[in-house]
Amino acid sequence: MSNYNQHVWNTGSTVDNGGHVKSIAEITALPLEERDESYQLVIRADGSDATLTASTCLGLLRGLTTFGQIWYQYGDWIYTTEAPFHILDEPKYKWRGLLLDTARNFFSVNDLKRTISAMELSKMNMFHWHIVDSQSFPLVLPEFPELAEYGAYSPTKRYSTEDFDEVIAYAAARGVDVLLEIDVPGHTAVIHKSHPEYVACFEASPWAKYAAEPPAGQLRLTEHKVILFVQDLFRAAISRLPGKYFSTGGDEINKNCYAEDPVVQYTLKRTGQTLDQAIAKFTNRTHQTLFDNGKIPVVWQEMILDHGDLGLKKETIVLVWVASSHAKKVAKTGHRIVHAPSNYFYLDCGQGPWIGNIPDGHSWCDPFKHWQRAYSFDPLADLTPSEAKLVLGGQQLLWTEQSDPLNLDSILWPRAAASAEIFWTGPDHPLGGPLNGTEAMPRLQDLRYRLVQRGIAAHALQPEYCAVRPYTCN
């Protein structure tokens, strides 16, 4: 760019015995601890050639992203505001994610690809695709065509196998792994439409007694045929995933639903099990299907904190979502954790109630989580040094009860990039001291404008007067 030529070097640490250099997609499918995203970028003040060096193609991608963010264009001129640069860079945390729920409202493949492109620009690497829930089942699985046939909102609101493969490949080429989630045994009411014998308390009323939100309905986890169904469902879903991770959910299991279901109660009494023992059996048997196929389960925190010791394997990764203070409770169990606390990282909060007939209501996780709130998060708060080693990283989340393609970009961006910087840099600033939101604002403004240039409708952070005059509006 401008007077600069760029020399890009891959030093080849990801070359196999046959001399094959692993692609970005191949590296992205590796376990987290085997992914090398480090790079070195040198830009000299005299306009001579810039040099980017990395041990992997994925590292080169991250370096090229940084290189592009150094430059600006004014008319025909491409320039940088400062030089030289000598950057040695790598992420502090391996997991830098974003959850998108495509079950409450449907999002097209183009919506997903646009979101993944923004993630790439923010150096995020885990797209947590909450693809199905009680409201709809848009995922077409050839082994279970009836689930989407009866469970999708309409024939046009489904992800075909071609759609699914396209999203996975698009993400992988950009260094973004896809964590698919099929949440069980709760959040499964929609399965009743194709398999009514598998679901308890379907659309029971009042819904608030039987579910976190309408419609009610949970899998009859005590039944052998249901366990076999879920094992086969997981096999079908993971067969199209190149990565190592798969989320089985496990949150918000409603005990009233099972207490009033005659099928579940009959089996519990016949076998002498408690409900928590049945949850343990169901979870461990379905998780074993993942382990047998080379996948690692990811669960919500309830699987560790709310049902006693379920005996889950220590390899299981735990998403901490209810509150940031719960991270220590999970860390004490020895499980690796991903920070996803609703009090910092939930992007849907603060929009008012979506349940009708409560004019004075509010969203359950008020207030609105602005980017400075997210940026103030400390991933090591209250953790001992040994517990801190269990932190894989974190992610921001968009549950879409009040979002659809029309407001997707503006509710995600640039807010979601706040956590991207936290988990790339860590809680400490490279120049010393904690991360500082005031110092970060110009970088986020810069990213916002770059997103808009790429066709992503990121919302404004300040008046333009402030955006072009850093620190003036503090």
The pairing of beta strand 95-101 with beta strand 337-339: unpaired
Measured distance CA(458)–CA(121) in Å, rounded:
13
Kindly name the residue from 166, 252, 260, 401 that is annotated as catalytic. Answer: 252
Q: Which of 165, 105, 93, 96 is nearest to 130 (CA)?
A: 105
162 as an active site residue: the answer is no
DSSP state of 423: H
Give the burial class of 198: count Cβ atoms within 10 A of its Cβ; 0-12 exposed, 13-18 middle, 19 or more buried: buried
The whole-angstrom separation of Cα 125 and Cα 360 is 39
In DSSP notation, 137-189 reads --B--TT-HHHHHHHSSSTTS-B-HHHHHHHHHHHHHTT-EEEEE---SSS-G
The residue type at 406: L
d(CA 70, CA 34): 28
* Cis preceding linkage at 214, omega within 30: no
259: tokens are: 């207490």
Q: Tell which residue, 300, 468, 461, 463, has the closest CA to residue 375.
A: 461
Q: Please, what is the end-to-end C-alpha distance for the chain in angstroms?
A: 33
Q: Indicate which residues carry an active-site annotation.
A: 252
